[in-house]
Structure 1
Amino acid sequence: MLVAALLLLALLITGVATTSLLRAVLVGNVDDQLRAQSATTLDLQTLVARQRAGEESAVPTDYALLLSTGVPGQVTVLAAPAVGSPEVGDVDLEEARERDREPYRAEGTDGSDWRVVSVPVTWRPTGEDLVLSIGYPLGSVDAAVARTRALFWLVALAVLVAAALAGRVAVRRSLRPLREVEAVAVAYGAGDTSRRVPDAWPGTEVGRLGGAVNAMLERIESALAAREASEARMRRFVADASHELRTPLATIRGFAELHRQGAVRDPEQVGAAFGRIETESARLGSLVEDLLALTRLDEQRPLRRDPVDLLVIAGDAVHDLRALAPDRPARLVGLDGSPAPAPAPVTGDDARLRQVLTNLVGNAVRHTPAGTPLEIGVGVRRHEGGAWATWQVVDHGAGIPPEEAERVFERFYRSDASRTRGTGGGSGLGLAIVAALVRAHGGAARVVATPGGGTTVEVALPAEERADELPEADDHETLDLDGPDVPEQADPARRGS
């Protein structure tokens, strides 16, 4: 509507300007012709003599020729066209001299417009000074201007109609992507999240809008998928946690009911029953603590950031293992079985990093036969991504099948389903906590094969030292952080943890 109004205003201005200019040009031509005619009729005596003799007048028939004394009402019409003559009786000699052949407007006897040139002349027989006026009617000029105006407005109307139709088509075509955006939004709201706005030229506002809407829909779809995955993990986690909590609770309740009903009377039986209750209570408390730890890690609470050397923590873990399980050979070694461990400084939470290594060592002890040797490798590796302080906890047990190695960091996952929860099997959360803590420190955890049999769990954390101060790594020591080490949402746990 605004464009149509502006176009109409432009046409109106153009029409007025065009017709005004045309009339001015045509009137100018008439004025030039009047000046030329006034120069040929200055000899009044010759003009009158030719008229008396009946000869053809020097003035064309569409011109009017008038003679006046300068006194109103005393005008003699020497020649006039059929349309009449102009009123020039009030033009005196002085005014005619001042005009100096300059054309002026006069009104005709029939009310029409005329252009007139008045010049002073002398009638020689009497010596009388008179005013000779030559006029030309502007009827033909006005008719030409009127025809031009009518033609212009016809053309303008056609242009306006064509512009309106073209504008309507252009607007409909330009708004088509908006209708597509509307259709996509309606479909998306109805549940069809696969719909997208068709690509349009990004040089237009509508094209950029379509691209922005598609990007927004992609983010919404990703967010919905992430939410659904999170809800699925939460449901699975709650179900697994309920199942894990139900087992020790059922054991505690069963022995308590046996004691209440008097089924257990022998002191040894009573002691054994309460021993089981105590054991299951401790296991229940440990499970609750693990769940609480995972919940806190999921909340991404900030960790302490202090200088920590992984070599010191590994040495303490070896000493603790020798004290708690003296039947197990335990060694502190370098990476990949090299004899010399190396300092591995990082920035992190000392207590949490000790928990990582404690869980790894406890997991290895829990799932390998008594007397199975265990090594803890420590060192720093360098590759294209930077320097990484690394732990390797190596056991020589039965190992983990390759198809299960990718799942050991999932919560409540156990690689050996034959183990019962009451005979040494873990809660399935130990390696989940390991993976979550490692990820919180910006690192990665993974399971790799152990030469000669067994399992190696490798943890890599960003090293504190500069890469040019670290020892060179062998080609086979390249760390791969793109594997199944720490899942994106940290749902980890190794073979029983």
Structure 2
Amino acid sequence: MRGVPGRLRPRSLRTRLVLIATVLATAAVLVCQATGLTLMRSWLIGQVDDRLTDFRPPSPVFRDIADGTAPVRRPPPHEALPSDFRVYFYDAEGRLLPDSLGSGRSEPRLARTIGDGLPEDGRPATVPAEDGDGDWRVVADPGPDGMRAVVALPLDSVRDATSRLLWFSLAVGAVTAAGVVLLGGAAVSLGLRPLTRVEHTARSITSGELEQNVADTSPDTEVGRLGLAFNTMLDQLRAALHRKDRTERGLRRFMADAGHELRTPLTSLQGFAELLLHDPHMSRSRRREAHELIAQNADRMSRLVDSLFLLAKLGDAPTTEHGPVDLLSLAADGIAASAVRHPARRVTLAPLTAGGVGDSGELDVVEGRGDPHQLAQVLSNLLDNACTHTPPGARLQVRVGSLRAGPRTGGTERPGRTGANPPLPSGTPVHVVEVADDGPGLSPQDAQQVFDRFYRAPPAAGVSGDSGSGLGLAIASTIAEAHGGRLELDTGPGEGCTFRLLLPAGRP
């Protein structure tokens, strides 16, 4: 049974509002009527008291009643005067005399002696009727020779007036409650119509219509502000869903590409291993060739797995430490390492200034902050990419300098420029490392995809050999973003490629 009140409680907001309005309106009407009833009863009793205090029996009446020489005769009802007054007398010894003035079918219940509780002189009091029906208002007045007179008036008129007013108040309260229920229900329904539209929109969204929005978004109303907050939440939810879909598609594509890249060396390893197992009499030269191919494919697969691990590590913990880094020395070390890996390629080092680049300028120390190992990885990847994808006779140049970000110097968007990371605000002080070549360049379509994972641009004329796993530029762009910088490409068909690493100069 303890759960019954919870089930009886209205759950609809409309029902609750109508119920609350009905209770409040009815209570207000009843309180007002009760206050008026109290005031009216007090006023009517005051009128009776005024009549009582203004009436005084004449002194001869006291003497006649005391002597018994002129007993008061009660006239028959049809001979009685139209007066409600009743006068009762007490003798000098305090006993109620049987004689009285006035007539009527009802009498007040008075004390038989003064000591039994007679009202104080001059102060009106209320006493019940003798037969128990109704009340009387009485006042005691002193008379000659120690006698007393009690003047009484019935309160029937007061009772009738208050009773009628009470029933009228109850009727008004009932009509008010019914009117509030009917009219209040319609008013509440009209007021809650915008909220109902929000509810219908929410139901439509839960049924799959994710592109809907709430129409009522006025900031001047509570429902409008709710609509604004609801639309903002929907926009954020849709953006999160779109990001989730893009992430899932990217992850599926990444896993497919990674599987495709790993499948080739694994297939080669499996083929050459089976060849060695099934042909034990293979010549020494062929056996050596098979071993070399197994080692090459194992090395390729190892480098691919290392690149994937590095990408995952960069995504979880982008930078391990920040310290001062001499970008000029880093570029020189990168050129020296590239000369070992690609001895046939000549790479030069040049300064980079806002006015232009050239071999005639003086090289100066450019000190930034970051992880030196990760920044060296970026430069190594850019140099390997340039040496691998340009013809043997193409000139390669590494430029180092400090500039301010802009359309001409780099760091911001402009036609022919592709960035893997968000652009920097124009005018931002940056340290720049460029790797430029005068090769055939890339088409706009290839330039848009060059930073994607596992993407390989079509080989240029005269270029042969392994083009890598397609992860070098993706790793470089991830490291640049982790340092708060940007990796971008300026290129065009026949214009060569300029890969530019920009690091904010003020980054702590």
**Same fold at TM > 0.5:** yes
Compare 390-399 and 329-338 and name the one that shifted more.
329-338
Q: Deviations along 1:419-476, whole A, 9 cap, x unmatched?
A: 999833221111111111111111111111389821101111122489xxxxxxxxxx
SS at the partner of 2:143? strand
- Paired position in structure 1 for 2:7: none
- State the AA in 2 paired with 1:35: T
Do structure 1's residue 121 and structure 2's residue 121 form an aligned pair? no
- Paired position in structure 2 for 1:79: 102
Which of 154, 166, 188 is 1:149 aligned to? Answer: 166
Q: What are the equivalent positions in structure 2 for 1:342-353 lying under 5 Å apart?
A: 342-353=364-375
Which of 410, 422, 427 is 2:469 aligned to? Answer: 427
Do structure 1's residue 230 and structure 2's residue 254 form an aligned pair? no
- State the AA in 2 paired with 1:345: E
- Paired position in structure 2 for 1:163: 180
Shift of 1:363: 0.4
Shift of 1:90: 3.5
- Paired position in structure 1 for 2:329: 312
- State the AA in 1 paired with 2:473: L
Shift of 1:264: 10
**Partner Cα distance (1:348, 1:266) in 2:** 54
Compare 6-15 and 354-363 and name the one that shifted more.
6-15
Q: Deviations along 1:77-112, whole A, 9 cap, x unmatched?
A: 3333x444445574659998x844322224445543
Shift of 1:214: 4.2
- Paired position in structure 2 for 1:42: 58
- Paired position in structure 2 for 1:355: 377
Which of 256, 259, 268 is 1:242 aligned to? Answer: 259
- State the AA in 2 paired with 1:337: V
Shift of 1:114: 1.7
Judged with a 3 Å threshold, the aligned counterparts in structure 2 of structure 1 residues 184 and 308 are, in CA distance, closer, same or farther, namely: same
- Paired position in structure 2 for 1:409: 451
Judged with a 3 Å threshold, the aligned counterparts in structure 2 of structure 1 residues 399 and 422 are, in CA distance, closer, same or farther, namely: closer
**Partner Cα distance (1:190, 1:248) in 2:** 48
Judged with a 3 Å threshold, the aligned counterparts in structure 2 of structure 1 residues 344 and 75 are, in CA distance, closer, same or farther, namely: farther
- Structure 2 portions without partners, runs of 5+: 1-15, 65-69, 406-425
Do structure 1's residue 33 and structure 2's residue 51 form an aligned pair? yes
Answer yes or no: is the 8 Å Cα contact 1:343–1:380 preserved in 2: no
SS at the partner of 1:358? helix
- Structure 1 portions without partners, runs of 5+: 123-127, 467-497
Shift of 1:316: 1.5
**Partner Cα distance (2:443, 2:467) in 1:** 18
Q: Deviations along 1:27-66, whole A, 9 cap, x unmatched?
A: 011101221233xx435469999x99x9xx9x96232344
Q: Deviations along 1:382-430, whole A, 9 cap, x unmatched?
A: 2556321111100110011123212110011122068999833221111
Shift of 1:10: 5.6
Answer yes or no: is the 8 Å Cα contact 2:390–2:463 preserved in 1: no
Answer yes or no: is the 8 Å Cα contact 1:327–1:371 preserved in 2: no
Q: What are the equivalent positions in structure 2 for 1:266-305 lying under 5 Å apart?
A: 270-300=287-317, 302-305=319-322
Which of 74, 91, 103 is 2:124 aligned to? Answer: 103
TM-score normalised by L of structure 2? 0.75
Answer yes or no: is the 8 Å Cα contact 1:75–1:89 preserved in 2: no
The CA RMSD measured in Å over matched residues stands at 4.0
Which of 365, 368, 374 is 2:387 aligned to? Answer: 365
**Partner Cα distance (1:422, 1:330) in 2:** 19
Overall identity of the aligned pairs, in %: 33
- Paired position in structure 1 for 2:397: 375
Answer yes or no: is the 8 Å Cα contact 1:237–1:411 preserved in 2: yes
- State the AA in 2 paired with 1:21: L
Answer yes or no: is the 8 Å Cα contact 1:86–1:108 preserved in 2: yes
- State the AA in 2 paired with 1:445: L
**Partner Cα distance (1:94, 1:67) in 2:** 15
- Paired position in structure 1 for 2:411: none
